[in-house]
Amino acid sequence: LDLSRNTRNCFLTGSPDSYRNIIGKGLRCLLNVPNTEVYKNAHHNSGRFCFQSSGPLGEKITSLRISSVGQLQHHFSAWNIQIVRSFHTSPLFQAAPVPLFWIIVKPAQKLFAIILGRSIRNWWKALPPNKRELLKESARKNKWKILLGVSSLGVLFVVFYFTHLEETPITGRARLLVFGKDHFRELSQMEYDMWMEEFKSKMLPETDARYQVVERVVGHLSESNKDIPQVSVLKWVIHVVDEPGVNAFVLPNGQVFVFTGLLNAVSDIHQLSFILGHEIAHAVLEHAV
């Protein structure tokens, strides 16, 4: 469309029973443009128009006329094209920037420095005068060795940090991984064995209705996301624990634990799907145990 002035123009599609709230001056919007029904937003000064229809796809719209107070009419033709709406996600949240991190850590660092400083000062005061002079003389003689040692520790820390960075699956973000993949799997297995030992007498059987609900939800989530390699490669094993606590967690090896307290707390299956999807995401992204 080529409309006059600085107005914004867009074509949108949607189901017959979907509506959109169009805001902002000079916005013209076509929603499944019909050749029968036209709805005008009756704000003469804003120049806002909205067209909506449930007509058949592929029907050509010819010689429609848009006009508003003080503006010329415009003739145009368009095709009613179906547009698949893209999946909407919330904005990405990056890690806290260095200034914010420093604001949070600074109070703890200050307390630690006070305690350490007082301890060193008390130790220094307790030393005999001759011992103090010997230590001062030794520090003056070895100042370059001390500086080299401190610098070496700093370099080792930097090297360790950058050699242990890894790209997070799916998101591609860099993260520090202290343990290797093998150690990570061993930790996951150790935690799994610990939970199984603790809850071995409280596991619900597969015939229980609550177990079957969780099984359907997990099955639906894994099937809907099977195009993600990290989801399809794992075998998701369900454990429903008869515990009143409101809790659920998924280990990185695909072991899903759900407490009956959580099943009693959620109001419908959609809330349960949301919670389990969140927990499965932790396993998919290989977050720490």
Other CB atoms within 10 Å distance of the CB of residue 177: 16
Q: Is 37 one of the catalytic residues?
A: no
92 pLDDT higher than 80: no
Model confidence pLDDT, tens digit, residues 52-86: 444 443 333 333 333 334 444 444 344 343 434 44
Selection from 225, 205, 227 nearest residue 215 by Cα:
205
* Domain 179-284 homologous superfamily, CATH: Metalloproteases ("zincins"), catalytic domain (3.30.2010.10)
> Which of 37, 133, 215, 279 is flagged as catalytic?
279
Instruction: Give how far the C-alpha of residue 117 lies from the chain's centroid of Cα atoms, to the nearest Å.
Output: 41
Strand partners, 75: 65
Q: What value, to the nearest 5°, has the Cα angle with vertex 264 and ends 258 and 252?
A: 15
The C-alpha angle 206, 208, 214, rounded to 5 degrees, equals 75
pLDDT at 42: 37
Enclosing H/E stretch for 145: helix 143-163
- Please report the pLDDT score of residue 241 as a whole number: 95
> What pLDDT score does 276 carry?
94
Q: Position 168: which residue type?
A: T
pLDDT (mean) for 187-193: 87
Q: Cite the residue boundaries of each domain of the chain with CATH code 3.30.2010.10.
A: 179-284
